[in-house]
Amino acid sequence: MNLLRRLCMSLLCLPWLAHAAELKIDQGHGVFTYRTDALLERDDVRTISVPADVAFHRAMHYRAIPLAALLRETGPADHLQFVGNDGFSAEIPGALILNGRGSEAWLAIEDPARPWPALPENHGSAGPFYVVWTQPQAAGVNPEQWPYQLATISKLDSVTDRFPATRPDPSLPPDSEVRRGFAVFQRTCLACHTLNGQGNAKLGPDLNIPHNPTEYLPADLLRAFIRNPQSLHRWPQAKMPGFDRQALSDADLDAMLAYLRHMAGRKAGP
């Protein structure tokens, strides 16, 4: 009887095992693999509420683990890259995850037995893993710092060290608007685009080769496109989100465009 019971339980577990996903984390000491089932059984998993979820555009509830608890070997000076199964690549500094200003990063875990709803506009699923934030405004968390369909988290060198062809002219003063725009570009654009053939993202086109958007779009149209991509051309399958003023202030948009104009004169092959 006990043997039969164990066999039945094993068979009941097969669908779970078939759909359990894996997240790979490398903090510089080798890759550790975390499975959905093991993560959902941790003592620090919580049910959290996210009132204004970036991906779903509404309130959501998740089973989640504080991201800092999974990244105990990460310090404020470290730099992390979050890569999704869809090619999205978010760059998030350790200082933001450990900010101490009220914003808290969580790893939301999709339970195969209770899957999340589909994303709006036929963008598929946000699972199996999704970085969400509570009180994101406290530390100025950017919408591009909510990576979903997450597959890997890796501690890497900074963007400027890994992708030198994206750097502006080193002779520019530290308070240059172009340098500020480079920082904005890293937060908002590098998650989907490359520049001069450098970057890890695979969703959007390169923003300098063969042509920089500042070379073929007037400034007013480029601004409108960044605010609302559908304002320039209707394309239901488009994946680029719009950046409203809460996500990207006018000053940050000005700085980013200054950086792009500057880089149009610094083209480099991949």
pLDDT for position 1: 41
Residues written for the chain: 270
Same domain, 69 and 173: no
3 confidence band (pLDDT: 50, 70, 90): very low
pLDDT for position 4: 40
Amino acid at 1: M
Residue 150, classed as helix, strand or coil, is strand
CA distance 25 to 11: 30
Can you tell me which residue has the tokens 């963007």?
A: 159
Same domain, 54 and 142: yes
Same domain, 137 and 242: no
Same domain, 144 and 56: yes
Cβ atoms of residues 175 and 169 within 8 Å: no
Q: Which of 196, 198, 256 is nearest to 225 (CA)?
A: 256
3-state class percentages of the chain: helix first, strand second, coil last, to nearest 5: 35, 20, 45
Q: Of 156, 182, 205, which residue constitutes the final position of a domain?
A: 156
CA distance 95 to 78: 7
User: From the CB of residue 52, how many other CB atoms can be counted at a distance below 10 Å?
Assistant: 12
Range of the domain at 42: 21-156
Has residue 12 been placed in a domain?
no
CA distance 102 to 196: 37
Same domain, 229 and 122: no
Look at residue 84 and tell me whether its pLDDT is greater than 60. yes
- State the burial class of residue 114 (Cβ atoms within 10 Å of its Cβ: 0-12, 13-18, 19+): exposed
Can you tell me which residue has the tokens 């809460």?
A: 246
Q: Which of 182, 181, 190, 195 is nearest to 252 (CA)?
A: 181
Look at residue 20 and tell me whether its pLDDT is greater than 90. no
Same domain, 93 and 109: yes
pLDDT for position 142: 87
pLDDT for position 11: 38
Same domain, 75 and 195: no
Same domain, 139 and 165: no
CA distance 232 to 40: 43
Q: Which of 116, 197, 105 is nearest to 149 (CA)?
A: 116
Can you tell me which residue has the tokens 């695979």?
A: 202
Same domain, 134 and 205: no
CATH, residue 143: 3.90.420.10
Look at residue 8 and tell me whether its pLDDT is greater than 70. no
Q: What predicted TM-score, i.e. pTM, was given to this entire model?
A: 0.77
Same domain, 94 and 148: yes
> In sequence order, which residues have a C-beta less than 8 Å from that of residue 76 and are 6 or more positions away?
93, 94, 95, 98
Q: Provide the number of structural domains found in the chain.
A: 2
Q: Determine which helix (DSSP H) or strand (DSSP E) holds 133, and give its type and residue range.
A: strand 129-134
CA distance 107 to 7: 33
Average pLDDT over residues 11-27: 67
| pLDDT, tens digit (0-9, with 9 covering 90-100), for 207-255 | 999 999 999 999 999 999 999 887 776 666 566 778 888 888 999 999 9
| pLDDT, tens digit (0-9, with 9 covering 90-100), for 145-188 | 999 999 999 999 988 888 999 999 999 999 999 999 999 999 88
